Structure formats: C-alpha cells, structure tokens
A and B are shown apart, each in its own frame.
Chain A
Amino acid sequence: MSALVEVDDLVVRYGPAVAVDGVSLTLGAGERVALIGANGAGKSSLLNAVCGVVRPAGGKVRIAGDDVTGKTPNHVVRRGLTQVPEGRQVFPSLPVEANLLLGAFGRSFRTEIATSTLRYLRRRADARERLERVYTLLPKLHELRDRPAGRTSGGEQQMVAIGRALMAEPRALAIDELSLGLAPMVVEQLVEFLHRLNDEEHVAILLVEQNALLAFDLCERAYVLETGRVVLQGESADIRDRPEVHSAYLGDGPG
C-alpha cells in the first residue's frame, strides 16, 4: 500500500546553492510525521518543493499515487495536500470568514476562472457545510468571522491559516513552523487541536518545526534534517533522546 505522500530523493537548488540534497520521506494516511532540524537545514525548502511553490531540481513527489513533481500548488491542493505557511500568511484585508472561504475556492480552481467560479458557486452549499464544520473544530474562528484577519493576534492568525487549509478538505496538512512567534500557551492549544483533528477527521499531518521537543510530542515519527540531508529517522519515542538530535542543532563536542 503506497503512502499518502511519498518524496523520493528530492533535490532543491537556489542558484548554485543546494538546499535539499536527496531527501526521501513518506507520510501515511492519518499519520503524524515531523521534519525537524536547525534553521538552514532545508526543511522549508523541502516543504515548498512538495507543495509546488518551487520546482525541484531532481527527485519525485507523489500524493495518493499521483506524480505531482514540479506541478503548480493548485494541483497539490486538488490531490489533497494543503499547506499552512510559515508566518501564517493570512489575507489581512479580508475578514476571517472570507479567508476561510477562499480556501474552498482555491480547491475549485482549475485554469480558467469562469468555470472555476461556476463550479464553486454550484458547490456553495458544500462549502458552507464545510465552513460550519471548521467553526465547530475551531470555535474561536466563528467569534472572529467578521474581523479583518490582519487585526487578529498571532495565535488567532495561525488558527485562520489552519482553518483555511482545512476548507480544501485535505487528506494531509503540511504545517511550516507552527510555533514560530507564538506564546507557549497558544502553541499548547494548537497542538491539542491538531491531535483532535488527526483523531477525529483522520487528516494526516506533516509538521516542519524548529522546536524539536514539541514536534516529538505531537508526531509519531520524525525525520531529522541537517544541511539538506536526513541524518536520522524513526519513531519519535526512539529517537528523541539520541545525541544526533542535539548535535543537529548545536553541533558536536563535549557535553
């Protein structure tokens, strides 16, 4: 049985610099997997290549068996993987509810706007239903639905970004730096939510995180990246105390 998301020997370059140097990983349906490593290890580049934002220089990406290597983000969204980007990247001028609905609209998009809009309007009832479901999962969003997304706090924006990603009915959610710039208590609530999401909706989670311990707490499996390569992988419980994790961030040496 093939995994939901399969990455084979992926290479990502920015000009002459190699950001990702032959990384392979898998994400099974309903699994929670983490990608950890220091800044500059290549985690975000990897995620961006998987989600179609940048074109990889080599390797393959498959989602639910379909080859999406080098295709646009729209393809990746339609195959069932949506991203919660680093820094949230909500649409600040638009109210929260509009942000969420655009998540569904993006899913309806093909190449040409007229038919995409018609498709979306025909499925409006479904989108509304989905919206209600997201509000049930994240009640705070219902409270904030008319507020411009730019005038919400960091943690609230993270919820908006997650909700927006969920509106596309994904099979897997890729989250880039969940905890960046957020207070610990807020992060705690988000982690709890993600646990529930995974249990109840069976949405697989691919978490890219700098905060290694947080990642280990949420995810069953983890890959440790260092300068573009996987240096360690396995069950979180097994690897979390390994010295390689410590040195991936802080180098080798005494202590």
Chain B
Amino acid sequence: MTEFLQLVVVGLSTGSAFALVGMSLVLVFRTTGIVNFAQGVFVVIGGLFTFQLSDDMPLAVASLVSVLLAAFLSSLVALVAVGFRDRTTSLASTIITLGVAFLAQALLLLEFGDIPRSYPGISDRAWDIGGVLVQPQYVLIAGVAILCAVALTLFLRRTIVGQALVACSDSRRAAELVGLNIRSLAIVAFAGAGALSALGGALLAPSSPMTYSSDVAITVNGFAAAVFGGLGSIRLALLGGYALGILEQLVVGYIDPQYSLIIALIVMLVLIGWRSRAEIASASHEAHAAIRRARVPWPAPIRIGLIVAGAVFACWLPYQLSTFDVALYDRMGLYALVTIGLTLLMGYAGQISLGQGAFFLIGAYTSAILTVGIDPGTRLVDPAAGISPLLAVLAAPVVAAVVAAAIGVPLLRLHGHYLAFATLALHLIAFSVLSAWDRFTGGQYGISVTKPLTVFGHDLRGPLHAAVVWGVVAVALLLATNLVHSRVGRALQAIASDEASAAASGIPVASYKLRLFIVAAALAGLGGGMFTFSFLIVSPDAFPIVLSIEFVVMVAVGGLGNMYGAVAGAVAILYLEQKLRDLGAKPALFGWDLPDAAPTVFSFGVFGLILIAIMLFFPGGLLPALGDATAGVWARIRSVRRPVTTS
C-alpha cells in the first residue's frame, strides 16, 4: 500500500508539470487553432535558465526571471507561427512550431551542453507521512499547478483581455468584426503559455534533471493531458495531467520503466480517437497550403526513357565515388524510397504523416531479426534459425504493410493536427519498443548482421549495394508515376481536392486512403529492410524521432506531389546534413565550444530553420518555387508565350 501511495505522490509531481503544459496547449489552441509542438521546450527553458541564473541570484528570483524570459521568447514564436494572414494555415503553423522545437533544441545544446541540469528544491528533507516520503517540492509544484489553473480560469473569465481570448476561440469571425486584433491576442496566448510551462519546468527540475532533449516526452504528455479535455478545457487538462502522471508512475513501479512513454502514447492515441470523433463534424479540414500548379505530364515513353536513363547513371555513379561518399549515396537512395511513398501520401491523398520513420525502423529490424534468427530465450545468434537475407529484405515491406493496415483504419479517420500527432506517436512508440523489447532488438546495442545481402551469387556491398538500391528507386519511381497517371492517381487527386465530391464520383475514399497509407508504409519498410545491409548493423541511433520530420522536410522541399522532387529532396537534404555535420564536427564555432553531440543536433537545428522557412514562404514546395522562378526567367529570355485561349 505504501508503495502504491509513494508512486501516486511522485506521479502528482510529474503530473503537475504535464498539467501545466496541457493548460498551455489549451490556451494556445483555443485562441489560435495552433497546436504548439514546441510547448515542452519552454518547460526545459524554465529549468535550464533557472539553473544558469541561480549562480547570480536566489533561486526564487532566478525562476521568476526565467519565466519572464520564457514569456518573451514565446511571443517571438507566436509571431513566426501565426505567419501571414491569408497564406498560412493552422496546420502549417503547427508544423512551424515543430521546426521551432528542433531549432530550440539545437540552441539549448549549444548553450547548456548535453549534461542534465538540476538544482536544489525548497527543502532537502522529505516529510514522512505514514511511511510515504513526500518531497516538499512535490507539494509545491502540485500547489502551483492548481493555483495556475484557478488563476488562468479567472483570467479568462474575469479580465477583459482574457475574455477577448475566449471570444477569439468562440468565434474568430465575430471577434475580428468587433475590432479585436487576432494576431496580438495570439501573442498574449503564447506568452502566457510560455510562462506557465516555464514555471512548471523551474519547479520540476529539482526532482527531474533536464537537458536539451527533455522536451519530447514532456510535450507528448502535455498533449495527452490537453486532449483529455478535447484541447478545450483548462480543468480537464489539469485532471488529465494528474491522471497521466500517476498512471505513468504506476507503470514505472509495477511493470517496467521502459514502458512509461509507450503507455502515455497509447493513452493519448485512445483519447485522440475518442475526442476527434466528436469534433469531426465541426472541424474544418483545411487542406495543406500546397498550391499545386498545372503541370503537363511527360508522355509515357519519354517518362520511362528518362527514368531508365537516370537509373543507368545512378547505378554507375557509386563506382566513381569514394567509400565515404558511397555510404552517403546509399542512404540517399534508401531515403528516396521513403519520400516517394510519403509524397504520394501527402501530395495525392492529402494525408500528413510524421511517422514514416516508424515503418523504416520496422523494415530494418524485421530484416535484421529474420536474417540473424534471434532466439528470444537465449539472445544468442542462431544462424540456422535465420532465413536468407534476400527473403528477409522482401519480408520487411510486408511486415510494414501489415502494421500499416492494422493501425490505418482508426488512424485515417483523423485529420489535421490530430493525424499529425498520432503519426508522430507511431514513431515514438516504435522507438520505445526498441528499448523495451531488447531481447529481440538488442536494445541500444542493436543487431549485428553476419550475412550480407546476396543476389544471384553476388554479395551486395559498398558500391554494388548502392547501385542496387538506386535501381530499386528507379523501379519505385516508375511504379509511382504509373500510379499517378492512372485511374487511381486521378481518384487520389480527387480525394485530395474534395472528399465529398470524390465519393460522389464513386471513389471509395476511406479504402483508397488506407491503401495509399499501406503503399507508403511498404516503401518505407523496403528502404529500412535494405538499410540493414548497408553496414550490416542496425541500432536505435539510426532511427531518431527527427528522422520522420526529416522525411517531411524532404518532401516539402521537393514539392508536394512531385515524385522527382521527392528524390531530389532526399538527395539535397542529406547532402546538406552532411555538410552541416562536417561543420559541427569542428571543435569550436563562432566562439562556442561544441559538445560531442553537436554535429547531429546542429544539423537538426538547421532543419528547424528550413522547415519554418518553407512553411512560411514556400508552402508549395521549394523546388517547384525555384522551378517556377527559373521558368519565369527562361520565358522572359525567350520572349515566347504559348497562347492560351479563353472563351
């Protein structure tokens, strides 16, 4: 019994932080319609800034100053996230906050390094209440959370500014008509949210040390707490936060600490499913702000010819590259497989997925496990139990497809920010499973594959592996472009344009969306399956959460719906990433000492910037915008205009 209560007590403290984040998310969402993926960052800012400032001033003052700084920084985020009045949709704004989160992580890493920081709480001695140890810090944070909930509710009900915020969420149209400035109010909402979260961080840090990457788990939990109230209720976010905190601690105590994030994610997904059903009728399904221009498709023989020619070049190229470059080139091809699938999904069915990395991961581990033949009882490699690498690679997309089919049915009922978050949760769950089921997956050490991939007697290593990968990419490109220029492709475009009209034209919308989801998952799974045999090893570091975001950036850069752009985007982003990694590998940059993790995080920071810039300025894709610009220049040079007759 005491153990149970002990866990509950600890749960109340983490739950308070979740509650504060949840309330912050509700405040922002209700006013602006934006889900702030960067909310957890402000919790970390609260903790880290307090840590930094506590050298120069008492802790209480340091906390206060941190909270104010966080509010200010959050206002800046508001300005960026709200974007341009007529161009930036709320989904684009949500993705911008994702970019902000990565940028913030990079900056925090630069400033504070990667060691988790903490500082003393209000008292070292815990109170012993009937055998249960209660840290005064827990009581403090719980009390503060409740106070904040009350204060926030009063603010929204009694002050004119608070009422203006509520008015915005009740009816933005009427609020505008009355003369209220939505953008200013958005800034207030963000500032308040930043302050609340930072307060939670400042109070939580004594019991849970924080570092630059702590925001992910916090944001996920905060979102789950907020969804409990349908993203609309402060009180329910408070309750949800506590419930989640306690639940997680119980899982940590009675089951396994590894599962705590998974549990949170599953709870969140269930809540999303339950809540979004009520909202679907009233939600406005905004299409992604991708403006797809009219493009004349190349006739089939030319298209096939170009792809074949490209394939020949692509397969010849690895033999001309250095060993190091071959490895990069190899990965470019594998990622291109994923982005081809993702651009089909996002560009043609209008479904956002922040979770393709999950299928990549599933494919990789499937081929590894099947090849190596792991005996879960003994964790010994048993070659006799393993199957041929080729079969294992072919099994990878099948397994990914099966998983996609299983979760696709409930998942694809979601739209907009719920869908985005649910797919991100997929990757988080897959990643957590890697460490939780370490008897199968080798945990953080991963799996070492002894047999190389062999086709027709040839071992696929180095340049040959890369050449085969790009050969597969060419085939995938061919099949994907075939699909797009077909009856099914037309149907998918009709679905992306207007689902009701598509259904009225006889297109089975839900079924097609699911099939496309499965195709995209299979492609990602195939990429992952082959990835195992690039270096004959798979380990969790190859599949960080940011991988899924990277895929979206690649597709966005290449232009939604542009297959060739998808491939070009993969190549461009990986190339950029490599250059940034080289930059980050230097011992110091601009006077800052770069810690060991710098190369990776540094590049993610730049990703954040790229993502933000694309969402704000090139919602139709960077390459198409460049293409249009060059086409415009070219047309002016030639001064020839094709006459287009209108009636």
Taking Cβ atoms with an 8 Å cutoff, the residues of A that contact B are 51, 53, 72-74, 77-78, 82-83, 85, 89-94, 98, 101-103, 105-107, 109-113, 116-117, 120-121, 164, 168
Contact indicator per residue, chain B 138-154, by CB within 8 Å of chain A (1) or not (0)? 00000000000000000
Do the beta carbons of B184 and A111 come within 8 Å of each other?
Answer: yes
Nearest to A75 among chain B residues (CB) is B179
Interchain residue pairs with CB less than 8 A apart (7): A89-B171, A92-B170, A94-B170, A102-B163, A105-B180, A111-B184, A116-B184
The CA of A53 and the CA of B167, in the complex, are separated in Å by 17
* Complex contact B170–A117 (CB within 8 A): no
- B598 contacts partner chain A, Cβ-Cβ < 8 Å: no
Please state if B166 and A117 are interface contacts (CB–CB under 8 Å): no
Instruction: Give the 6 A-B residue pairs with the shortest CB-CB distance, closest first.
Output: A106-B179, A106-B178, A89-B174, A77-B179, A113-B184, A91-B170
A51-B163 contact in complex given A112-B184, A116-B184, C-beta closer than 8 Å: no
User: A92 to chain B: which residues have CB within 8 Å?
Assistant: 170
Say yes or no: A113 contacts B176, CB within 8 Å.
no
CB atoms of B163 and A94 under 8 A apart: yes
Query: Knowing A85-B174, A89-B173, A113-B161 touch, does A102 contact B167 (C-beta < 8 A)?
Result: yes
B177 at the interface (CB under 8 A from A): yes
Closest to B184 in A: A113
Partner of B160, one of A53, A78, A83, A117: A117
Q: Is the CB of A102 within 8 A of B173?
A: no
Known: A89-B171, A91-B171, A94-B166. A74 touches B160 (CB 8 A): no
Q: Please give the distance in Å from A254's CB to the nearest CB on chain B.
A: 34
A63-B164 Cα distance, complex, nearest whole Å:
26
Per the bound structure, the CA–CA distance linking A83 and B181 in Å amounts to 16
Find chain B residues with CB under 8 A from A106 CB. Answer: 175, 178-180
| B177 A53 Cβ-Cβ under 8 A | yes
Query: In the complex, given contacts A72-B181, A116-B184, what are 16 additional A-B residue pairs having Cβ atoms less than 8 angstroms apart?
Result: A53-B173, A77-B177, A77-B178, A85-B174, A85-B177, A89-B173, A91-B167, A91-B174, A94-B167, A102-B167, A102-B175, A102-B180, A110-B181, A117-B161, A121-B160, A164-B178
B residues within 8 A CB of A117? 160-161
- Name the A residues within 8 Å of B181 (CB-CB): 72, 74, 109-111, 113, 116
Residues of B within 8 A of A51 (CB): 177
**Centre residue among B161, B174, B180 by max chain A CB count within 10 A:** B174
Chain A residues, CB < 8 A from B198: none
Task: For B185, give its contact among A74, A82, A113 (CB under 8 Å).
Answer: A113
Contact status of A113 and B174, CB under 8 A, knowing A98-B163, A120-B160: no
Residues of A within 8 A of B175 (CB): 91, 102, 106
Given contacts A94-B167, A113-B185, A117-B160, contact A102 B178 (CB under 8 A): yes
Q: List A contacts of B166 (CB < 8 A).
A: 91, 93-94
Shortest distance between the CB of A203 and any CB in chain B (Å) = 17
Query: Roughly how many angstroms separate A37 CA and B588 CA in the complex, as a whole number?
Result: 72
Asked whether A78 lies within 8 Å of B170 as measured between CB atoms, the reply is no
**Chain B residues whose CB sits within 8 angstroms of the CB of A110 once the complex forms:** 181
Does B188 sit at the interface, judged by CB under 8 A?
Answer: yes
Q: A51 vs B161: C-alpha distance in the bound complex, in angstroms?
A: 23
The interface size of chain B toward A, counting residues with CB under 8 Å, comes to 21
**Whole-angstrom CA separation of A168 from B185 in the bound complex:** 19
A168-B170 Cα distance, complex, nearest whole Å: 20
**In angstroms, how far is the closest chain A Cβ from the Cβ of B326?**
50
**Shortest distance in angstroms between B184's beta carbon and chain A's nearest beta carbon?**
4
Residue picked from A92, A107, A109, A111, most chain B C-beta under 10 Å: A109
Q: Find residues 153-208 in chain B having any chain A CB closer than 8 Å to their own CB.
A: 160-161, 163-164, 166-167, 170-171, 173-181, 184-185, 187-188
Contact B184 A102 (CB under 8 A): no
**A101 to chain B: which residues have CB within 8 Å?**
160, 163
Partner of B173, one of A85, A109, A116: A85
Known: A102-B163, A117-B161. A73 touches B188 (CB 8 A): no
B174 near A73 (CB under 8 angstroms)?
A: no
Please, which residues of chain A bring their CB within 8 A of the CB of B174? Answer: 85, 89-91
Inter-chain contacts of B179 with A (CB < 8 A)? 73-74, 77-78, 82, 105-107, 109, 168
A120–chain B nearest beta-carbon distance, Å? 6
A105 touches B176 (CB 8 A): no
Q: How distant is A61 from chain B, measured CB to nearest CB, in Å?
A: 15
Instruction: Give the chain A neighbours of B187 by CB distance below 8 A.
Output: 113
Q: In the complex, which residues of chain B have a beta carbon less than 8 angstroms from the beta carbon of A94? A: 163, 166-167, 170
A177 to nearest B CB, angstroms?
A: 14
Residues of B within 8 A of A121 (CB): 160
Q: Which residues of B contact A109 (CB under 8 A)?
A: 179-181, 184
Contacts of B171 in A (CB 8 A): 89-91
Instruction: List, in ascending order, chain A residues with CB within 8 A of B177's CB.
Output: 51, 53, 73, 77, 82-83, 85, 89
- Per the bound structure, the CA–CA distance linking A113 and B178 in Å amounts to 15
A117 and B185 CA atoms in complex are apart in Å by 11
* Cα A168 to Cα B177 with chains together (Å): 11
A226 smallest CB distance to B (angstroms) = 24
In the bound complex, how far is the Cα of B175 from the Cα of A90, in angstroms?
9
How far apart are the CA atoms of A51 and B160 in the complex, in Å? 24
Nearest chain A residue, comparing its CB with the CB of B185: A113
| A162 → chain B closest CB, angstroms | 13
Q: How far is the CA of A112 from the CA of B175 in the complex (A)?
A: 16
- The answer, among A93, A103, A111, A112, for a CB contact under 8 Å with B178, is A103
Report chain A residues within 8 Å CB of B173. 53, 85, 89
Residue in B closest to A90 when the chains form the complex, CB atoms: B174
Looking at the assembled complex, report how far the CB atom of B626 sits from the nearest CB atom of chain A, in whole angstroms. Answer: 27
In whole angstroms, what is the CA distance A85 to B163 when docked? 19
Give complex CA distance A25, B400 in Å. 64
Complex: chain A residue closest to B169, CB-CB: A93
A109 CA to B188 CA in the complex, in Å?
A: 14
In the bound assembly, the distance between CA atoms of A83 and B175 in angstroms comes to 11
CB closest chain-A residue, reference B160: A105
CA gap between A78 and B180 in the complex, in Å: 11
* In contact, B163 and A73 (Cβ under 8 angstroms): no
Separation in Å of the B391 CB from the closest CB of chain A? 54
Cβ contact within 8 Å between A113 and B167: no
A164 to B170, CA, bound (A): 15
User: Which chain B residue lies CB-closest to A107?
Assistant: B179
- Chain A nearest CB: distance from B605 CB in Å? 30
Rounded to whole angstroms, the CA-CA distance of A78 and B178 in the bound complex is 10
Chain A minimum-CB-distance residue to B188? A113
* B161 contact set on A, CB distance < 8 A: 113, 117
**Whole-angstrom CA separation of A111 from B184 in the bound complex:** 7
What is the distance, in angstroms, from B73's C-beta to the closest C-beta of chain A? 17
Residues of chain B within 8 A of A82, CB atoms compared: 177-179
Residues from chain B with a CB closer than 8 A to the CB of A107 are: 179
* Most chain B CB within a 10 A radius of its CB, from A72, A73, A91, A116: A91
| Whole-angstrom CA separation of A111 from B163 in the bound complex | 18
Tell me the complex Cα distance, A207–B188, Å: 36
Contacts of B167 in A (CB 8 A): 91, 94, 102
> Contacts of A102 on B, CB cut-off 8 Å?
160, 163-164, 167, 175, 178, 180
Q: How far is the CB of A180 from chain B (nearest CB, A)?
A: 15
Tell me the minimal C-beta distance from B78 to chain A in angstroms: 11
For the complex, what is the distance from the CA of A10 to the CA of B187, rounded to whole Å? Answer: 34
Q: Name the CB-closest residue of A to B173.
A: A89
A171 to B184, CA, bound (A): 26
Min distance, Cβ B643 to any Cβ of chain A, angstroms: 20
Task: Kindly list chain B residues whose C-beta atoms are within 8 Å of the C-beta of A105.
Answer: 160, 164, 178-180
CB neighbours of B185 from chain A (8 A): 113
CB distance from A68 to the nearest CB of B (A): 13
Complex: A12 Cα to B174 Cα, angstroms: 20
Which residues of chain B have C-beta atoms less than 8 A from A90's C-beta?
Answer: 171, 174
Choose among B166, B176, B177 the residue with the greatest number of A CB atoms under 10 Å from its CB: B177
Residue of A at shortest CB range from B167?
A91
**B612 CB, min distance to chain A CBs, angstroms:** 23
Closest Cβ of chain A to B638, distance in Å, is 29
Chain A residue nearest in CB terms to B191: A113
Measured CB to CB, the nearest residue on chain A to B180 is A106
Nearest chain A CB to B52 CB, angstrom units: 28
